[in-house]
Amino acid sequence: MRGTLSSFVMLAALAFATAAAPKTPTSGATAATTPAMAAPTPAGLDTATFAMGCFWCGESQFTKQPGVRSVTSGYTGGHKLHPTYEEVSSGTTGHYESVRVIYDPAKTSYESLLDMFWHGVDPTQADGQFCDHGSQYRSVVFVRDDRQRQAAEASKRALAASAEDYHQCFWQKSPDHYKAYREGCRRDERLAQLWGDKASIPLVGH
């Protein structure tokens, strides 16, 4: 992992709208909130909401995981009610492509879902996720209450700490990755062009 963690935690202030339109939508297709989505979470279950870039990938991340009852693709975080897929894709609604996960806390924990979230995104990418670019594709943990916020922020701090440890002595931990990076960037070649025989040559990992 390289760079600063750009994924963030946001209080989910707006209702989650289900995605009724496909990835290649028909003109005017809507994403209205369904009665099932408007209903309270079933007794004994809980809800988690994540934006992970493409909601297709977010949905498959959680579906069939132990304790997960259902996963719904949709949009949240924005200012427009019942947006179309085209509107969200334009990046003008403030919404994120998201997934709503209904789970049984007796069989899985919110912390486990957070772990699946973090390891299913590139948390250092600030402009979207992977090949999808734009604010509507950024990775976000939407929290419902203080309990979820505290858990989400704690998980982010723990990941940031582990990322720092990951970088220490990387040339030794992952020599093939390190060498491929160094050679791919043509670092030594460029140093030789600049400094000739005065170019610094590392004593390890070279």
Contact 135, 91 (CB under 8 A): yes
Residues 6 or more apart from 118 whose CB is under 8 A from it?
7, 155, 156, 159
Total Cβ atoms within 10 A of residue 71: 21
Distance CA 112, CA 126 (A): 24
> Residue 96, SS3?
strand
Distance CA 77, CA 156 (A): 20
Residue 54 among the catalytic residues: yes
Catalytic residue among 54, 57, 131, 169: 54
Convert 154-192 into a string of H (helix), E (strand) and C (coil). HHHHHHHHHHHHHHCCHHHHCHHHHHHHHHHCCHHHHHH
Active site residues: 54
